[in-house]
Amino acid sequence: MSAANLRLDLPDMPEAAAQLRLDVRAFIDEERKAGRLPPPERVGLGFSQEMTKRIAARGWIGLTWPKKYGGQERSALERYVVTEELLAAAVPVGAHWVADRQSGPVLLKFGTEEQRQEYLPRIVAGECGFCIGMSEPESGSDLASLKSRAQKVDGGWKINGRKIWTTNAHRVHYMIALVRTSVVEGARHAGISQLIIDLQAPGVTISPIISMAGEHDFNEVLLEDVFVPDKALIGQEGNGWNQVSAELAYERSGPERWLSSFRLIAELIDVLGPDARPSSQEELGRLLSHLLALRQLSMSVASMIQQGQTPNLEAAIVKDLGTKFEQEAVRVVRNIVSAENLTAHGRADRLKALLIHAQQYSPAFTIRGGTNEILRGIIAKGIGLR
Amino acid sequence: MSDNQQFFRDTAERILADRLEQKHIVAAESRVLPGELFATLAENGIFLMLVPEEQGGIGASVAEALAILKPAGSAAAPGPLLETMLGNGLLAQAGVAPVEGTIALAFVGADELAGAVTLHDVGWGGLADHVLVVADDAGRARLTLSAGADWLATPGEGAAGEPSDRLSAPSLPGASAVLDAAGSYADALRRAALLRAGQQLGAIEWSFTRSIDYTGERSQFGKPIAKFQVIQQMLAELAGHVLAASTLLDAAAVGLSETLVAAAISRVGDAADSAIAICHQVHGAIGYSKEYALNYRTRRLMAWRADFGGVEYWRGALARGFITATREQFWPAVSDAGLQGAA
């Protein structure tokens, strides 16, 4: 390994992306003027089925997918532009986020034609959302130890098990669950498959898990003799681990990994003026340099995905850096707010509320979607240490 | 990387491999310039990189100059390499012919040049053939070129052990020229600091690669230390710094936007801090010995991060570009900062 291998090319942004960016900004302006997009007092992805419908009406869900499924066959870099504009404005995109980023692309890559026909046009229309059924109570970082079982029965599979930390399971329609379909002695990554579960099916029980930030985003999903038909199997039986690995570059490198706390920084900037003390300006400048670096990295990885590469090492680095940045952002904003006495005496109430919530939320940044320690294990492998 | 950048990098690596040995790096700490290296760089036109072709130079871009300076930093090359390269570029911008020999650079406020003049912490100041003073004259860059012999030098040294001297004269010697309208003092300082960041990145990458290799060579508790998770986690963290710093530096070198250059210098500064801490920790005691090559990079990082404004200055400059924005102006300001690929 040499550091020279650890290098990203600068992307070529397609011409159409500039117009697309302006279109998204115009949409956000309209939403703001109509009072549908107040400045947020919480960090993280909001959830609004109505907003998802309006975004879908613009054609911005499934942007890169084939036209025959309702997509527009535009590039990954154009999708990148749409997502970062929406996230930077804190548009609540949670209702379609997972389906657009991950579930749809998995179906395109591994699904059957029937599955694509059934789900993709509805995702594009903003009518159906997905959640990810990976973690289990006893299988967190060690995902391959999962115990949920799908047993082959006549015409389909019978699933028993328990999924946990399932974001939005109580609000979306389907889960792509990672379950064990066979036991292969000595090969723990084998025998795992991906199945689509209708969350309305008999035997599915969804219970809320309230986070320390007071939110109900997570759930525990109990699966008791849940029947899914044969056509619910994605890709090959037993190939689930490889399929999941292929998703991870999408999941890890996106702008959501460094834009969750963007509104907090925006509120600080709004309140802060040029008379801020030099130490505050230095801390802010340092934070901004990390923000700009992450944006450049994220765009470069989007460009690699566009070229058909699977940049798992680079994506793991973006998520490690991005989530650390988000925690650092909360710390820096807190320090500057304190040093400059910005929220005393009822000033800057929105900044104050957002900062409280961001502090409560911040431990999740480096845990959700794979802990940073696991990511660093992947990076270590990528640079030849294991 | 463009073909030109690749060519310049290969050229620099070849010259450094042929003309720079560890003994030269050590000798620089006794105020000896690596003469053969500098002669070969001059023969190859490296010091004319930033001089336009119509003025007899190579007419290279800043990105191409970085393709020279990164390997120079990686090799821990001593001497006023950046200073001579940029000094000739600045002279050309002011319509002055490039000079033979080495140049020391001093950035000062114009008010520091009245009467008896003292320049502090001038890299290789007492040994360079020429001293180029770049003065901030109400935002414009006023250049004054003098001979090294015109100055009384009080030797000093920086963290890397390279000369960092105090120069004094009863009055400012030499002839002055003012950069054309396009060349402000801030532009000159920005280019110097960005090129210095390139040298730092080279030293960071060398230290990172050496550390990875070292963890495979060194065994403790019966296995290579690379196999310990705690070592893996530290180097994975550093990998992130390397990737972020190099990507942002590349982007900054293309458009040279004020925002992006300041951001790149700041980001490289963090990568340097992390490289110093992690590479030494991974190496343990051996890395602390003067004989082992690591310190010749890490001490340069300590010295370089303070040059041409210093990392903290550029952080403040970056913040000042955003601090008056409203909450809704902030995102457009970020997305229009000149990142590559940003439409």
Q: Mean pLDDT of all residues in chain B? A: 95
Residue B150 and residue B230 in one domain: no
Does B341 map to a domain? no
Which of B208, B266, B278 to substitute to test the interface with A, most A CBs within 10 Å?
B266
CB pairs under 8 A between A and B: 202
> Among candidates A72, A135, A77, A69, which has minimal Cα distance to A104?
A69
Range of the domain at B56: 3-178
Does B90 map to a domain? yes
Boundary (domain end) residue, out of B121, B153, B178: B178
Alpha-carbon gap, residue A323 to A377, rounded angstroms: 16
- Chain B residue closest in CA terms to A378: B236
Structure token pair of residue A301? 């990885």
Do the chains contact at B233 and A284, CB–CB below 8 Å? no
Stated length of chain B: 343
Cβ atoms of A189 and A144 within 8 Å: the answer is yes
- Chain B residue closest in CA terms to A320: B240
Could you give the C-alpha distances from A291 to A327, A330, B296, in angstroms and in order? 12, 13, 31
Q: Which residue has the higher pLDDT, A202 or B1?
A: A202
Answer yes or no: is pLDDT of B226 > 50: yes
Do the chains contact at B231 and A385, CB–CB below 8 Å? yes
CATH code 1.10.540.10 region(s) in chain A: 3-128
SS3 B123: strand
Do the chains contact at A12 and B341, CB–CB below 8 Å? yes
Residue B167 and residue B189 in one domain: no
CATH code 2.40.110.10 region(s) in chain A: 132-240
pLDDT of the residue at A323: 95
Do the chains contact at A6 and B243, CB–CB below 8 Å? yes
Do the chains contact at A276 and B314, CB–CB below 8 Å? no
β-partners of residue A66 are none
With tokens 């309208």, the residue in question is: B181
CATH code 1.20.140.10 region(s) in chain A: 254-382
Alpha-carbon gap, residue A306 to A180, rounded angstroms: 32
Provide the chain B residues 243-272 that lie in CB contact (below 8 A) with chain A. 243-248, 250-251, 254, 259-260, 262-264, 266-267, 270
Query: Rounded to a whole number, what is the distance in Å from the CA of B281 to chain A's nearest CA?
Result: 16
Residue B296 and residue B270 in one domain: yes
Query: What residues in A contact B262, CB-CB < 8 Å?
Result: 285, 289
At A54, is the pLDDT very low, low, confident or very high (cuts 50, 70, 90)? Answer: very high
CATH superfamily, region A132-240: Butyryl-CoA Dehydrogenase, subunit A, domain 2 (2.40.110.10)
At A198, is the pLDDT very low, low, confident or very high (cuts 50, 70, 90)? Answer: very high
Of the candidate CATH numbers 3.40.50.1000, 3.40.50.300, 1.10.10.10, 1.10.540.10, the domain formed by A3-128 belongs to: 1.10.540.10
Which helix (H) or strand (E) covers residue A220, if one does?
A: strand A216-229
β-partners of residue A158 are A151, A227
pLDDT of the residue at A386: 83
CA A264 to chain centre: 19
Domain count, chain B: 2
Residue B139 and residue B202 in one domain: no
Q: Which domain CATH number covers B213?
A: 1.20.140.10
A214: left (phi over 0), alpha (psi -120 to 50) or beta: left
Convert the pLDDT of each residue in B23-45 to its tens digit: 999 999 999 999 999 999 999 99
Do the chains contact at B322 and A276, CB–CB below 8 Å? no
Residue B193 and residue B326 in one domain: yes
With tokens 């890559």, the residue in question is: A109
Provide the chain B residues 295-324 that lie in CB contact (below 8 A) with chain A. 312, 314-320, 322-324
Convert the pLDDT of each residue in A284-295 to its tens digit: 999 999 999 999
At B183, is the pLDDT very low, low, confident or very high (cuts 50, 70, 90)? Answer: confident
- A293 contacts chain B (CB < 8 A): yes
- Chain B residue closest in CA terms to A32: B328
The string of DSSP codes covering B161-230 is SSBEEEEEESS--SEEEE--TT-BHHHHHHHHHHHHHHHHHHHHHHHHHHHHHHHHH-EETTEEGGGSHH
Answer yes or no: is pLDDT of A64 > 80: yes
Residue B149 and residue B219 in one domain: no
- A275 contacts chain B (CB < 8 A): no
Does B340 map to a domain? no
Boundary (domain end) residue, out of B124, B149, B178: B178
CATH superfamily, region A254-382: Butyryl-CoA Dehydrogenase, subunit A, domain 3 (1.20.140.10)
> Among candidates B60, B66, B73, which has minimal Cα distance to B20?
B73
> Among candidates A299, A254, A258, which has minimal Cα distance to B343?
A299
pLDDT of the residue at B343: 43
Structure token pair of residue A189? 């990554």
With tokens 């509120």, the residue in question is: A267
Of the partner residues A282, A297, A303, the one whose CB lies closest to the CB of residue B243: A297
Q: What is the ipTM of this complex?
A: 0.95
Does B343 map to a domain? no
Burial A235-262 (b: 16+ CB within 10 A, else e): bebbbbbebbebbbbbbbbbbbbbbbbb
Residue B193 and residue B69 in one domain: no
The string of DSSP codes covering A230-288 is GGGEESSTTBHHHHHHHHHHHHHHSTHHHHTTHHHHHHHHHH--TTS-HHHHHHHHHHH
- pLDDT, mean of residues A253-275: 92
Cβ atoms of A207 and A147 within 8 Å: the answer is no
Structure token pair of residue B192? 């110097």
Query: What residues in B contact A292, CB-CB < 8 Å?
Result: 248, 259-260, 263, 267, 334, 337, 339
At B147, is the pLDDT very low, low, confident or very high (cuts 50, 70, 90)? Answer: very high
Does B193 map to a domain? yes
Does B52 map to a domain? yes
Residue B212 and residue B266 in one domain: yes
DSSP H helices, chain A, are 16-33, 49-57, 76-88, 94-98, 104-110, 113-124, 240-253, 256-259, 262-271, 278-306, 312-339, 349-361, 372-382
Answer yes or no: is pLDDT of A344 > 90: no
Alpha-carbon gap, residue B50 to B82, rounded angstroms: 11
Boundary (domain end) residue, out of B116, B144, B178: B178
- A87 contacts chain B (CB < 8 A): no
CA A134 to chain centre: 14
- B327 contacts chain A (CB < 8 A): yes
Answer yes or no: is pLDDT of B104 > 80: yes
Does B16 map to a domain? yes
Of the partner residues A2, A17, A288, the one whose CB lies closest to the CB of residue B322: A288
Residue B131 and residue B172 in one domain: yes
Of the partner residues A270, A273, A320, the one whose CB lies closest to the CB of residue B240: A320
Do the chains contact at A288 and B318, CB–CB below 8 Å? yes
Residue B231 and residue B258 in one domain: yes
Task: Quickly count: other Cβ atoms within 10 Å of residue B224's Cβ.
Answer: 15
With tokens 């959501």, the residue in question is: A256
Q: Which amino acid is at A241?
A: W
Does B277 map to a domain? yes
Which of B318, B320, B326, B329 to substitute to test the interface with A, most A CBs within 10 Å?
B318
Residue B199 and residue B103 in one domain: no
Do the chains contact at A10 and B341, CB–CB below 8 Å? yes
